[in-house]
Amino acid sequence: MVNKKGQFEVEEQAWGLLDLVWPRPDLLIIGMGASVFPLSPETRKHINSLGVRVEVLDTRNAAAQFNLLATERGVSEIAAAMIPIGWKGR
């Protein structure tokens, strides 16, 4: 998941669910565990090509951001992918 450059990289097939859901969320919040890894350009490009913006935070802040935005905008517009806080990434 973390490439040699220290970037979070996930194969395109892993994001297949975003291609299936309707309505498609306009924002995906990714919680990276206790610390934040930058998203690889390839992964960001693929998610953006689905019409979904992406925001990367540590999991604690990602969960809080998701809860706030889901309350304000509704859960159909926001999606989240959360990695447990104990995850080391390597």
What digits encode the pLDDT tens for the residues 32-46? 988 888 999 999 999
CATH class of segment(s) 21-82? alpha beta
Q: Is the per-residue pLDDT at 90 higher than 60?
A: no
The pLDDT value given to residue 89:
55
User: Average pLDDT of 1-20?
Assistant: 82
Mean pLDDT computed over 62-85: 90
Its pTM stands at 0.85
- Which of 38, 40, 36 lies closest to 12, judged by CA? 40
Domain boundaries, the chain: 21-82
- What is the spatial distance between Cα 61 and Cα 24, in angstroms, rounded to a whole number? 23
